[in-house]
Structure 1
Amino acid sequence: MTILLAMAIFALVTSISPGPVNILATVTGANCGYLRTVPHIMGATLGFVTILFLLGFGLSQFLSEAPYLTDILTYLGGAFLLYLSYKVATQNPLSDSEEDNTSAPSLFQGIMCQWLNPKAWIVSLAGISVFFHDNSAELEKLLIFCSIFFVVCYASISVWAVLGVTIRSILSTPRHFKLFNIVMGLLLAVTVLYTFSLSN
């Protein structure tokens, strides 16, 4: 029970903290509503859990022997997320009639947001190193860890999406929406750069 509680706390702290995926969930929630954000939430959750499972299954040892692959992923991911921050900042304000026709992140895009997110790799590597001796995970224990993270990650990203929906009720004019998108785009860029500095 102690180890399960520790895993749950680790999952909550790392999943609920600000990061690119959570910021995108907030922006999508504010611009498109919660239901349109669900594919992003599910994709991001699946993407993270997949990373966690593969690292626990042996990928972490492979990456430790080829650190240049981690560097390549970090640069590619950082560039992709900075591009997303630009898209967020320049997104046009929406009217209620436009909401249904507005493009929200798909399931696949949610997965890629995690796979190209340096924070997801840092957190996953930290989790494997903390809870599994010599980074080698027993399959049953690894599956439990992944299951805990699936539930907590989905719930945490949902909280950020609901925050966006709540903010939407405050943004009464297109000008407010535009300002919100600019601020969130800048916040996303700052978060990406900060996460990028942690991985170096």
Structure 2
Amino acid sequence: MENLTAFLLAAFALTGSPGPNTLSAAAVGASFGRLRGLRYVAGLVVGVMLVALVVGTGISGAILALPGVTPVITALAIIYFLYLAWKIATAPAIGELENTDASPPRLIDGIFITLANPKAYAAMAALFSGYVLIAGNPLVDGLWKAALILGVIIIVNVLWLMTGAELARHLRSPRAARAVNITFALLLLASVATLAM
């Protein structure tokens, strides 16, 4: 039980702290509202489970060991983060959404941002290698960790989505709402830049 508590605390700290996924969930909530952001958050959840699979099975290490792959992956990730930040920064205020054809990021966008997120790989590596929940059975141990991480990820990303939506809801001025969108987009880029250092 001691390991379980430590694992859950670490999972909430590693996945709930500000980073590309959490800040983008808040930004989508602020830009498009809770309901319109749920598909994107579902994509974040699916993406984290894919990262957990890639890290837990060692596939990530094998891919990154290939010559020339790391710079290509890094360049693609940067381009994608810039695209998402632009989409968030230029989204209309929530009150203006009815009068526009702006569409929120999709499920696939949530998956892509997670697959491009270095923090997701570091968090999964720390959680999978740093804790043993079921001694003597690595497969069951890994499955339990994955299930617990899934629950934590859902809670964390929904809370960030709701926080962003709630913040924007209280900003009636389109100018203030635009400032929130731009701030979240800049914070998203800053979180990626911090991880790259």
Same fold (TM over 0.5): yes
How far off is 1:6 after superposition? 2.1
How far off is 1:96 after superposition? 5.0
Q: In the aligned structure 2, how far is the partner of 1:108 from the partner of 1:25?
A: 14
Partner of 2:91: 91
Q: In the aligned structure 2, how far is the partner of 1:86 from the partner of 1:159?
A: 23
- The question of whether the paired residues in 2 share the 8 Å contact of 1:32 and 1:99 is answered with no
Residue 29 of structure 2 corresponds to residue 29 of structure 1: yes
Q: In the aligned structure 2, how far is the partner of 1:84 from the partner of 1:109?
A: 8
Q: In the aligned structure 2, how far is the partner of 1:122 from the partner of 1:70?
A: 15
How far off is 1:100 after superposition? 8.5
Q: Would you say how many aligned residue pairs link Structure 1 and Structure 2?
A: 193
Q: What is the TM-score with the length of structure 2 in the denominator?
A: 0.86
Q: In the aligned structure 2, how far is the partner of 1:69 from the partner of 1:154?
A: 31
Go from structure 1 to structure 2 and tell me whether the alpha carbon gap of 1:59 and 1:169 turns closer, same or farther (over 3 Å shift).
Answer: same
Partner of 1:38: 38
Partner of 1:170: 170
30-39 or 145-154, larger mean C-alpha shift: 30-39
Go from structure 1 to structure 2 and tell me whether the alpha carbon gap of 1:176 and 1:129 turns closer, same or farther (over 3 Å shift).
Answer: same
Q: In the aligned structure 2, how far is the partner of 1:75 from the partner of 1:149?
A: 28
Partner of 2:75: 75
Go from structure 1 to structure 2 and tell me whether the alpha carbon gap of 1:97 and 1:184 turns closer, same or farther (over 3 Å shift).
Answer: closer
Partner of 1:148: 148
Q: Deviations over 1:133-170 (max 9, x none)?
A: xxxx8221111111111110110011111111211222
- The question of whether the paired residues in 2 share the 8 Å contact of 1:52 and 1:124 is answered with yes
- The question of whether the paired residues in 2 share the 8 Å contact of 1:47 and 1:114 is answered with yes
- The question of whether the paired residues in 1 share the 8 Å contact of 2:31 and 2:88 is answered with no
Unmatched tracts of structure 2, length 5 or more: none
Amino acid corresponding to residue 158 of structure 1 in structure 2: V
Amino acid corresponding to residue 25 of structure 1 in structure 2: A
Partner of 2:104: 104
Q: What is the TM-score with the length of structure 1 in the denominator?
A: 0.85
Go from structure 1 to structure 2 and tell me whether the alpha carbon gap of 1:192 and 1:102 turns closer, same or farther (over 3 Å shift).
Answer: same
Unmatched tracts of structure 1, length 5 or more: none
How far off is 1:97 after superposition? 5.6
Partner of 1:6: 6
Amino acid corresponding to residue 179 of structure 2 in structure 1: L
Q: In the aligned structure 1, how far is the partner of 2:66 from the partner of 2:21?
A: 27
Instruction: State the identity %.
Output: 28
